[in-house]
A and B are shown apart, each in its own frame.
Chain A
Amino acid sequence: MLSRVANHIYWMERYLERAENTARLIQVNTHLLLDLPRNVMLGWEPIIDMLSFRDVFYEQYKEPDEKSVIKFMVTDTNNPGSIINCLAAARENARIIREIIPTEAWELINNLHMTAKADGQSVLTRRHRFSCLERIITSNQTITGLLGGSMLRGEGYAFLRLGRHLERIDMTSRIIDVRSASLLPSVSQEQSAFENIQWMGVLKSLTAYQMYRQEMRIRINRSDVLEFLMKYHKFPRSLSHGLMQIGKCLKELPNSELIQENVNALSNKLEKLNTQKLPQDGLHEVMDDIQLGVVKIHQSINEQYF
């Protein structure tokens, strides 16, 4: 397989996954706000930080109010991480390899981009936001299903899954990180009552709530949520599951030893982590470390194959 083609497959999937996860996060934050009392200072600012585009935001907007943040994260073409830009990038990557991926997948991706563009205005109002974001999420799920049901199990499919799982690990760690930051300020009694609601929000943004209840059979609490999202390899959006999948893809690809070493290093780090003893103010550092690990894996993939 041509390096360039592998590169496009990998990035197409990463951008699709990123768009979906961003949509999930906004979806859940919108719902969460409805549950919290007005005086709880949980706003939209952490969302801007998620993809580390704080500077870009403040160049254009004064206040991190709901409308500005939604606009910035969903439809703003000046924000490299906005959903619309992710979908445009996914589309351009898909277009270049449209002879390699199933035709229907190209059509769905093209369609998804066009629909998201057309929804640009309505997504700003709470009433329509749900269905707009839901369309993005379910479209990507459809694309994932279609690719899984029709692509040859060769190198191309391995690069696709590599992109998907690496992006998922990255996004899951960012979502946890955002919540860790918003909970950081020493919480008053009144506010701490809502802490668990927020952790429930984290689970929901990763469609993990139902699975968490089924598997853990305990009420929502921080350390168990962290355990579930980071180390519970049976859950497909957990960090450890993603790393396991990446390991499998690498076995199907030539000369992957160096990359595998980086994957192992991150796995070991995760293995040693004790979520019960992890202090709230240490969480950010751990997530940072995980993201660095992701960057390292990506760089080694880039050097080896692209």
Chain B
Amino acid sequence: MAIRWGNYRVGQFYDELIRVANKPRPAAAEICKYLRNLTEQEIEEYKTAANTAIHVMGITFTVYTEEEGSIDRAWPFDIIPRIIDKKEWLQVEKGLKQRVKALNMFIDDLYNEQRILEAGIVPKSLLEASKNFLPECMGIKPKHGVWAHICGSDLVRDQHGTVYVLEDNLRVPSGVSYMLENRHVMKRVFPDMFEKYNILPVDDYPSQLYDMLTQLSPRDIEQPEVVVLTPGIYNSAYFEHAYLAQQMGAELVVGSDLVVDDDDVVYMRTVNGLSRVDVIYRRIDDAFLDPEVFREDSMLGVPGLMRAWKAGNVGLANAPGAGVADDKVVYAFVPEIIKFYLNEEPLLPNVPTYKCVNKDERDYVIENIDKMVVKPANESGGYGMLIGPHSSKAECEKFVRLIRRDPRNYVAQPMLLLSTAPTLIDNKAEPRHLDLRPFILSGTDIHVTTGGLTRVAMRRGSTVVNSSQGGGSKDTWIVDMEAE
């Protein structure tokens, strides 16, 4: 027997499956028993089965190199699932819905009346300095008042078991295809577990996404033309773009497939000639969306797309400019934003966040830089940040200089002790840190994925879970412990 829970060290962290050595949490009891009874050879077989399934399904992310051209790499996948009790999950889901609803009201307000600035809840200076605020979007009212139709919020759990929102991705969040495919892999590898547990399904996401996108159609027709706009095969998330297009039965297009005519309507070039497009699920960044308005050198976008969108002739998800709320400084204000628009207390807490733009908080951050995680306002993918406790003195000092030079661009958070879950390392279970990215769809109503994508930092002690930086993933099971 290769996995011995008696040897599993939980340490100072909250572990998702194991309470203390040899004592699994109730929802994890069954799987822990199952894993305990596996021989090393059986574990090896399961791993091979999972890798074969991943290979056969072509689940990859793309790395581009000069000499080899494009290469698809498989993302490390761990076969031990992360398990959450449905009762707990429903609370998280409620909190996410509340949060995304408020964020969309906030974006809509910023581009229209700006009540929240008038009320002095969020400082005006913040908007002026924001890289993701697009003045071109002022006065626009997208359908249903929704700007961020697809939101990916990163959740973490601290040592006391409290779930926090770490950040909201409101531009082009990725990862949902891995969530869906991980489940397919697990069904192939552990079919018997799906009989023992009541695991809530995840695979209705593509149809919910499709339904939400059709709600954005400017034309009231039976089957609006929905397309997925990708930057192309060299994008690291290309697999996901293609996957979602395929699952929704939508065309996968690149910028050059689309054309905006003098009538401000978007068409795609087909062998039958031009054909009208109603809704675009775009997976390219704002800056590259329309060379007429944003970056002139963009080869990825569609000239005239903003014209068409402003004229109400095409639905865009997410709406241009939605990223204004996807900013680490705005993040710090989310609790106030929720109270302002909904008159409710936030159900899901923020990680305590110091805004370097305020002098008191800045001084505190600089004083305690070696204990802080410092993040620039507009980066994603784990780039350009400082993890104080893991950094050299020189690195810390460099960040002090950066903060002093541009305080508005930085926020800092105390180092969280992220939760762990048992992960197979050389066929032994070892604790590894993880987070969770659920996806929230907003149209006429709001849907949250059942669970989400669990990302794991595969290196011991590391808390960086990004796929570009050595992270892996797990399947996430929301289990109904009361249903029999």
Contact = CB atoms under 8 A, between A and B. Distances in A.
A2 B69 CA distance: 25
Given A95-B70, A99-B242, A99-B246, A1 B233 contact: no
B70 A3 contact: no
Interface string A267-306: 0000000000000000000000000000000000000010
A33 interface: no
A2 B233 contact: no
Contacts of A1: 270-272
Contacts of A95: 70, 233
A245 B35 CA distance: 59
Interface stretch (B196-204, B253-261, B305-313, B347-355): B253-261
A92 B251 CA distance: 19
Contacts of B265: none
A98 B254 CA distance: 15
Interface in A51-97: 88, 92, 95-96
Interface residues of A: mostly helix, strand, loop or mixed?
helix
B70 to A, nearest CB: 7
Contacts of B268: 2
Residue picked from A2, A95, A98, A305, most chain B C-beta under 10 Å:
A2
A6 B272 CA distance: 11
A99 B271 contact: no
A96 B233 contact: yes
A4 interface: yes
B252 interface: yes
A228 to B, nearest CB: 35
A77 to B, nearest CB: 11
Interface in A1-19: 1-4, 6
A36 interface: no
Given A95-B233, A99-B252, A103-B58, A6 B271 contact: yes
Most buried by B among A4, A92, A155, A255: A4
B242 A4 contact: no
Given A88-B69, A96-B233, A254-B272, A2 B257 contact: yes
A99 B245 contact: yes
A4 B269 CA distance: 8
Contacts of A2: 251, 253, 257, 268-271
A151 B141 CA distance: 44
Interface residues of A, number: 18
Contacts of A254: 271-272
Contacts of B245: 99
B253 to A, nearest CB: 7
Nearest to B72: A95
Given A99-B242, A103-B58, A92 B69 contact: yes
A244 interface: no
A4 B254 contact: yes
B300 to A, nearest CB: 14
A258 interface: no
A305 B271 contact: yes
Nearest to A253: B271
A126 B256 CA distance: 46
A98 B72 CA distance: 13
B25 to A, nearest CB: 39
B233 A3 contact: no
A221 B295 CA distance: 65
Given A92-B69, A103-B58, A254-B272, A4 B256 contact: yes
A94 to B, nearest CB: 11
B232 to A, nearest CB: 8
Contacts of A96: 233
Interface of B: 58, 69-70, 233, 242, 245-246, 251-254, 256-257, 268-273
13 contacts: A2-B253, A2-B257, A2-B269, A2-B270, A2-B271, A3-B257, A4-B269, A88-B69, A98-B58, A99-B246, A103-B58, A253-B271, A254-B272
Given A95-B233, A96-B233, 20 more contacts: A1-B270, A1-B271, A1-B272, A2-B269, A2-B271, A3-B269, A3-B271, A4-B254, A4-B256, A4-B269, A6-B271, A92-B69, A92-B70, A95-B70, A103-B58, A155-B271, A159-B271, A253-B271, A255-B273, A305-B271
The 5 closest A-B CB pairs, nearest first, are: A3-B269, A305-B271, A99-B242, A6-B271, A254-B272
Interface of A: 1-4, 6, 88, 92, 95-96, 98-99, 103, 155, 159, 253-255, 305
